[in-house]
């Protein structure tokens, strides 16, 4: 148990970072991480060494987050939620650019969780698929759609290019 | 195979997943495929820009949240893993449940808040509450004979039951879930009696706890399929507070003269703990199949010989009027 606890403790900063990006709020994130850790410590015997402690914890954190979201918005359909389209450039001709936190908030839950699991969890597609409980093909399509949406929202390399054009 | 899905004119052996993997740096260990992607991108600047943007997004995400990784971990999180675990964790679930209870107070017995159960089986729940109140005061000799506690070795009645998560062998047989008597010793209640109870053709397990201050607390369990997280409802009837909730295949009732606030609190504790036990049983795998099979009437009745048990319809929440399916006890 002590060894597993040690492994779990080493993941807390990573869990906080993932939760913060997922929830968009550091206080909510710490609540999620607390729930996740409580669950993990109650269920540590279920970690069967089939995968890494990190992927096991990230999976649990994702489920805690989904529970949290569902409690907050009971009718939320995670796969159908529409992306909010950013406002068009305003009259001064400025390009609408969101920072990453704001842009991520505009993505549907499932796309955001998938993109973040790759970017912050450092997980391969198969591990992310297992953690998210979906086939690898679904991970692929969520990544494609989510990242295109982020581009449309003005984050990533295109944003820099657009900013440079403005100069 | 998803890897072979053609995308935007890619050669047949390259798919969108290859392009994504390239952007994510996952092809670094596969130079042949990486070179194939690079060759493909050479003549497609739009695609190259798209993948460049994706890679940049990853970096931007890591930059944006780097401060969280570097920040000290709050004490409340560190304490969870560094101190010996209490039997139950933290006060937060209580407040969450309290908030849920406050919401449900307006719903009362009329139904479950949240819109999941559109047509609440009012009469069934009311009947359950009635039975719970009746069973609370029922003298021991009017109940069916006590059943033994599997592997816990407690002989009943009279002797003290050992405290702490006793396996409920009898109920477990019916639903193939590792149901346990909740451990309330830290809350000042110890189990003193556990019996099978029959009333109006339905059956339930009745577990009696004695409080340190002389209070009596009786918990009832019957089976009933229901998905979703438990929502506890508390009502008062005949001077007793009754908390009831459904969790997976089970319906719980908690009755006491200890006062509504105390019952609220205890129900929240029990619901949180039992949810975890059921989650664990379900995650363990085969139990879930057994559970569903046993939950669906015919097989269960054949196997258990409980010919008079009503059918169970897990796909019709609200209509799945299952009580406990029990072999006759002799």
Contact A140, B16 (CB under 8 A): yes
Average pLDDT, chain B: 62
**Residue percentage of chain B with pLDDT more than 70:** 45
Query: Tell me: the pLDDT tens digits for B90-144?
Result: 333 433 333 333 333 323 332 333 333 333 344 556 666 776 777 776 655 444 4
Radius of gyration for chain B, computed over Cα atoms and rounded to the nearest angstrom: 27
**Which of A88-92, A110-114, B125-129, B302-306 tops mean pLDDT?**
A110-114
> Which positions in chain B touch A158 (Cβ < 8 Å)?
49, 53
A-B contacts at Cβ under 8 angstroms: 130
Cβ–Cβ contact B24 with A under 8 A:
yes
Helix (H, G, I), strand (E, B) or coil at B220: strand
Contacts of A140 in chain B (CB under 8 A): 2, 5, 16-17, 20
pLDDT of residue B125: 63
Q: Which of B49, B57, B71 sits opposite A150 (nearest CB)?
A: B57
The pLDDT score that the predictor gives to residue B152 is 32
Question: What average pLDDT does range B28-46 have in this prediction?
Answer: 92
Nearest CA in chain A to B56: A156
- Quick check: ipTM above 0.95? no
- Name the residue with tokens 């390009």: A95
* 3-state class percentages of chain B: helix first, strand second, coil last, to nearest 5: 45, 20, 40
Distance from CA of A151 to the nearest CA of B (A): 7
Cα of A95 to nearest chain B Cα, Å: 17
| Minimum-distance CB partner of A119 among B61, B68, B73 | B61
**What pLDDT, on the 0 to 100 scale, is given for residue B218?**
81
pLDDT over 70 at B224, yes or no:
no
Between B233 and A148, name the one with better pLDDT.
A148
Beta bridge partners of B246: B251
* pLDDT of the residue at B50: 94
CA-wise closest residue to A70 among B229, B131, B22: B229
Burial A61-80 (b: 16+ CB within 10 A, else e): bbbbbbebebeeeeeeeeee
Output the furthest CA–CA distance in chain A (Å, rounded). Answer: 61
Please tell me the predicted confidence (pLDDT) of residue B87.
45
Average pLDDT over residues B18-25: 95
Mean pLDDT score, B202-226: 72
A-chain residues near B55 (CB < 8 A): 157
Q: Which has the closest alpha carbon to B88: B6, B174, B10, B186?
A: B186
Q: Which residues in chain A have Cβ-Cβ distances shorter than 8 Å to B26?
A: 124-125
User: Please, which residues 117-156 of chain A have a Cβ atom closer than 8 Å to chain B?
Assistant: 118-120, 124-125, 135-137, 140, 143-144, 147-148, 150-151, 155-156
Kindly list the residues from chain B whose CB atom is less than 8 angstroms away from the CB atom of residue A27. none
- Out of B68, B115, B279, the one facing A17 most closely (by C-beta) is B68
The values of phi and psi at residue B301, to 5°, are -70, -40
CA atoms within 13 A on the CB side of B267: 32
* DSSP state for residue B3 in the 8-state scheme: G
Cα separation, B318 vs B329, in Å, equals: 28
Q: What is the pLDDT of residues B265-290, one digit of tens each?
A: 888 878 877 656 555 544 443 333 22
The token pair at B255 is 């009755």
pLDDT tens, A13-62? Answer: 999 999 999 998 888 899 999 999 988 887 766 665 667 888 889 999 99
Q: Do A155 and B57 touch (CB under 8 A)?
A: yes
Q: How many CB atoms lie within 10 A of CB B32?
A: 7
């Amino acid at each position: 148990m002590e060894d597993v606890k040690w492994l779990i403790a080493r993941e807390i900063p990573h869990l906080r970072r993932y939760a913060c990006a997922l929830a968009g709020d550091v206080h909510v994130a710490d609540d999620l991480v607390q729930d996740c850790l409580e669950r993990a410590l109650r269920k540590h015997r279920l970690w069967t060494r089939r995968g890494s402690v990190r992927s096991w914890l990230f999976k649990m954190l994702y489920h805690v987050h989904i529970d949290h979201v569902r409690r907050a918005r009971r009718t939320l359909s995670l796969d159908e939620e529409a992306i909010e389209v950013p406002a068009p450039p305003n009259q001064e001709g400025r390009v609408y650019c969101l920072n990453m936190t704001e842009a991520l908030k505009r993505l549907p839950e499932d796309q955001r969780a998938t993109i973040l699991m790759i970017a912050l969890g450092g997980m391969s597609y198969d591990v992310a698929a297992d953690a998210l409980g979906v086939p690898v093909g679904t991970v692929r399509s969520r990544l494609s759609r989510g990242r295109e949406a982020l581009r449309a929202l003005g984050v990533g390399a295109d944003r820099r290019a657009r900013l440079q054009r403005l100069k | 195979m998803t890897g072979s899905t053609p995308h935007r004119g890619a050669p047949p052996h390259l798919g969108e997943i290859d392009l994504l993997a390239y952007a994510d740096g996952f092809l670094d260990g596969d130079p042949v495929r990486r070179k194939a992607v690079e060759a493909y991108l050479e003549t497609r600047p739009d695609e190259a820009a798209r993948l460049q943007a994706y890679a940049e997004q990853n970096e931007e995400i890591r930059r944006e949240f780097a401060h969280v990784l570097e920040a000290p971990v709050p004490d409340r999180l560190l304490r969870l893993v560094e101190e010996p675990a209490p039997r139950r964790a933290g006060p937060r679930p209580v407040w969450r449940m309290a908030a849920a209870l406050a919401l449900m107070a307006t719903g009362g017995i009329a139904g479950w808040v949240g819109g999941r159960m559109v047509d609440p089986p009012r009469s069934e729940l009311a009947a359950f509450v009635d039975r719970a109140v009746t069973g609370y005061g029922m003298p021991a000799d009017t109940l069916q004979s006590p059943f033994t506690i599997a592997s816990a070795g407690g002989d009943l009645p009279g002797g003290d039951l050992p405290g702490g998560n006793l396996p409920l062998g009898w109920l477990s047989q019916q639903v193939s879930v590792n149901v346990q008597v909740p451990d309330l010793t830290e809350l000042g209640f110890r189990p003193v009696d556990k019996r099978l109870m029959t009333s109006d053709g339905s059956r339930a397990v009745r577990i009696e706890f004695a409080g340190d201050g002389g209070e009596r607390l009786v918990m009832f369990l019957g089976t009933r399929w229901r998905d979703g997280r438990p929502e506890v409802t508390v009502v008062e009837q005949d001077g007793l507070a009754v908390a009831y909730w459904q969790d997976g295949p089970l319906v719980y009732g908690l009755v006491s003269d200890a006062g509504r606030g105390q019952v609220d609190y205890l129900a929240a504790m029990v619901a949180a703990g039992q949810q975890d036990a059921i989650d664990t049983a379900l995650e363990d795998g085969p139990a879930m199949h057994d559970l569903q099979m046993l939950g669906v009437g015919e097989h269960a009745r054949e196997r258990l010989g409980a010919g008079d048990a009503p059918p169970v319809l897990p796909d019709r929440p609200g209509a799945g009027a299952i009580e406990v399916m029990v072999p006759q006890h002799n």
